[in-house]
Chain A
Amino acid sequence: MHTKIEARIGKDLVAASAMPLVLAILDDGESYGYAILKRINELSGGALEWTDGMLYPLLHRLDRLGYVEARWIAPEGGRRRRYYRITPAGRNTLTEQRRQWEVVSEALRNAWHGFPITISALSPAKG
């Protein structure tokens, strides 16, 4: 049996993966909304489709939970921009989430063992 799968990721999955993704990106260094979205796009090869604006409520939630720290930086002669930086608490959460995701993906891999599908558009992610 062959099932063709669109590389589009469902809404629930996008929502569930959003927090660890953003935290992981911020773990690489301080960043701002637009750059974070571009990075997500790069990492997923464009398969993770976000409505851009939705990133910001998420960032604010992470801020409220104390996982990230936000600050405004106004460059000389440029418009001010809000930068986010991961906190130690955020790093702990990221470690914990990563562990959970690995368990889930391991379980899925085991369950799918010997279940052949053709993934036409799901090319290996770059980056």
Chain B
Amino acid sequence: MDSAIGPGIEAQIREWRSYLLRRRTMHQVDVDELEDHLRSEMSELGAAGLREDESFLVAIKRIGGINELSREFARERSSRLWKQLVLAGGSVRERSRWAYAELAIMLCFALGAAIAFKLPAAFGIDLMDTGASGNGEGDAAFYLRNSALLALPFLIGFFAWRRRLPARVVVGLAVPFVAAAILVNLFPFAEGGDTEALAAIHLPILLWLVAGVAYLGGVWRAGAPRMDFVRFTGEWFIYYTLIAFGGGVLSALTVGVFEAINIDVSPIIASWVLPCGAVGAVVVVAWLVEAKQSVIENMAPVLTAVFTPLFAMMLVAAIIGMALTGNFIDAEREVLILFDALLVLVLGLVLYAISARDAEAGPALMDAVQLVLVVSALVIDVLALTAILSRITEFGWTPNRTAGLGLNLILLANLVWTAWLLAAFLRGVRPFADLERWQTAYIPVYAAWAAVVVAVVPPLFAFK
């Protein structure tokens, strides 16, 4: 019925969809329906002799402005906003079928992840065994290396099902998982060695980015959709934290209540409820982020707005403190890890603030605050780098220093150019979109570096 649409226009349709979805009043089904309308109109206009891009523009214009549209939907929906907390989108009747089916399938994926996570227990591998029992390497190390490998395939499966990913893409996504599973389990890691810990820290990052490809429905090359994944990651993180907190309170209360009646449930909680809950929540939260977008979209920008100035103040105060006392960053391992974590957090904050921001809006006070944050992070980063470099020249290379050096260099490059682009934007020389494009273009660098730390660093240091 429809003529095939070129990839350029397809990308524009995707972008239009994501703009609509960002409005909290419109749901997936509404946008699906509007997209069907758009395509019908386009194929009719195309039949009348219009070029593809022309018919796209005309059809978009006829559908109407996004603002008016979302306002109209809001008026229709406002009385039912509370219901969005229960189940997403659609009318009551449709909800009973489609949404419940979706809910059930999502829960299957979550359950699958929990089962996969506990499956090694059937072979006698115990999460709580730290090796103290004397059977050589502790089983905790097995989980340290494999947790992400056990949980994330189910997240990808969920995305693949939702986005109807072609089998070719799914197979492509499985390759990094299989490769990583082989590497981290066949590498002869030294017991309690640094390379093992480093690989265990970096593997989830790499696999999360692979999951991002599934989230984007296989379209990961374009910049704008990548920003959607950044936004998703931020929202996922906030939701997960909230749910983890709630789960912790619930578990503590459960243990307390059963203790009062002299039943000790803490072993069950510790070895079953908590791990299965934590792993299953990975999928459930991903579903929640999409289904309850309206809830999180109000909260996340507020959190960034609150914490950007606070982090900026903290960093400036730390720099002033160093300048006054002359105590620069101590090259102790724990201190460097602390600073790396801080820098990663700052970068995450900046990235998320960028993704939540309207690229069309002009410079605002918040952008200046962000520049302060980025520049002070830059100063800290340079200090950390000098500390690491002086350690390397003095004591030689170690896995930790190598990983630290690489991470700090990657952050440095990003922060320098981010600061430059932010300053240019504040002066009105460059559009904000440049900053967005820079950040999205940089994402594969993280994946590449994480892959290096997982696959190359351990053999380089003889798995110590």
Tell me the chain B residues, 1-41 only, with Cβ under 8 Å from chain A. Answer: 1, 29-30, 32-34, 36-37, 39-41
Which residue from chain A places its CB closest to the CB of B20 in the assembled complex?
Answer: A53
Q: Are A51 and B94 in contact (CB under 8 A)?
A: no
Q: Looking at the complex, which one of A34, A64, A81 makes contact with B91 (CB distance below 8 Å)?
A: A64
Q: Are B75 and A56 in contact (CB under 8 A)?
A: no
Q: Are B33 and A56 in contact (CB under 8 A)?
A: yes
Taking the closest CB of chain B, its distance from the CB of A51, in whole angstroms, is 4
Q: Are B72 and A57 in contact (CB under 8 A)?
A: yes
Q: Counting CB contacts under 8 A, is B73 at the interface?
A: yes
Q: Are A72 and B75 in contact (CB under 8 A)?
A: no
Give the interface segment out of B60-68, B128-136, B201-209, B213-221: B60-68
Q: Are A72 and B37 in contact (CB under 8 A)?
A: no
**Which residues from A are CB-within-8-Å of B427?**
none
**Which residues from A are CB-within-8-Å of B92?**
64
Q: Are A72 and B69 in contact (CB under 8 A)?
A: no
Q: Are A71 and B94 in contact (CB under 8 A)?
A: yes
Q: Are B40 and A51 in contact (CB under 8 A)?
A: no
Q: Are B91 and A70 in contact (CB under 8 A)?
A: yes
Interface string of A18-42 (1 = CB under 8 A from B): 0000000000000011100100000
**Which residues from A are CB-within-8-Å of B258?**
none
Q: Counting CB contacts under 8 A, is A78 at the interface?
A: yes
Q: Are A52 and B62 in contact (CB under 8 A)?
A: yes
Q: Are A33 and B30 in contact (CB under 8 A)?
A: no
Q: Are B41 and A34 in contact (CB under 8 A)?
A: yes
Q: Counting CB contacts under 8 A, is A61 at the interface?
A: yes
State A72–B29 Cα separation when bound (angstroms).
Answer: 10
Q: Counting CB contacts under 8 A, is B334 at the interface?
A: no
State A72–B89 Cα separation when bound (angstroms).
Answer: 14
Q: Are A51 and B68 in contact (CB under 8 A)?
A: yes
Q: Are B76 and A34 in contact (CB under 8 A)?
A: no
Q: Looking at the complex, which one of A53, A69, A70, A71 makes contact with B34 (CB distance below 8 Å)?
A: A53
Q: Are B94 and A52 in contact (CB under 8 A)?
A: no
Taking the closest CB of chain A, its distance from the CB of B440, in whole angstroms, is 28
Given A51-B63, A72-B98, CB of A56 within 8 Å of CB of B30: yes
Interface string of A71-115 (1 = CB under 8 A from B): 110000011111000000000000000000000000000000000
State A32–B35 Cα separation when bound (angstroms).
Answer: 13
Interface string of B45-83 (1 = CB under 8 A from A): 000000000000000001111001100110110000000
Q: Counting CB contacts under 8 A, is B168 at the interface?
A: no
**Which residues from A are CB-within-8-Å of B32?**
80, 82
**Which residues from A are CB-within-8-Å of B37?**
33-34, 37, 52-53, 56
- The interface on chain A, measured as residues whose beta carbon lies within 8 A of the other chain's beta carbons, has a size of 23
Which residue from chain A places its CB closest to the CB of B92 in the assembled complex?
Answer: A64
State A53–B69 Cα separation when bound (angstroms).
Answer: 7
Q: Are A79 and B64 in contact (CB under 8 A)?
A: no
**Which residues from A are CB-within-8-Å of B93?**
69-70
**Which residues from B are CB-within-8-Å of A63?**
91
Q: Counting CB contacts under 8 A, is A16 at the interface?
A: no
State A61–B34 Cα separation when bound (angstroms).
Answer: 16
Q: Are A56 and B94 in contact (CB under 8 A)?
A: no
Q: Are B73 and A57 in contact (CB under 8 A)?
A: yes
Q: Are A57 and B64 in contact (CB under 8 A)?
A: no
Q: Are B64 and A52 in contact (CB under 8 A)?
A: yes
**Which residues from A are CB-within-8-Å of B64?**
51-54
**Which residues from B are CB-within-8-Å of A64?**
76, 91-92
**Which residues from A are CB-within-8-Å of B1?**
78
Q: Are A52 and B76 in contact (CB under 8 A)?
A: no
**Which residues from B are CB-within-8-Å of A71?**
94
Given A51-B64, A52-B63, CB of A57 within 8 Å of CB of B76: yes
State A78–B1 Cα separation when bound (angstroms).
Answer: 8
Q: Are A52 and B41 in contact (CB under 8 A)?
A: yes
The listed residue with most B CB atoms (<10 A of its CB), out of A34, A57, A81, is A57
Q: Are A34 and B72 in contact (CB under 8 A)?
A: no
Q: Looking at the complex, which one of B36, B75, B98 makes contact with A57 (CB distance below 8 Å)?
A: B75
Q: What is the interface of chain B, defined by CB distance below 8 A to chain A?
A: 1, 29-30, 32-34, 36-37, 39-41, 62-65, 68-69, 72-73, 75-76, 91-94, 98
Q: What would be 19 A-B contacts, judged by CB atoms less than 8 Å apart?
A: A33-B33, A34-B37, A51-B62, A51-B64, A51-B65, A51-B68, A52-B41, A53-B34, A53-B37, A53-B63, A53-B64, A54-B68, A54-B72, A56-B73, A57-B69, A57-B73, A60-B91, A61-B76, A70-B91
What 3 A-B pairs come out closest when comparing CB atoms? A51-B64, A53-B64, A34-B40
Given A56-B30, A60-B76, A82-B29, 9 more A-B residue pairs with CB atoms under 8 Å apart are: A51-B62, A51-B68, A52-B63, A57-B69, A57-B75, A63-B91, A64-B91, A64-B92, A79-B36
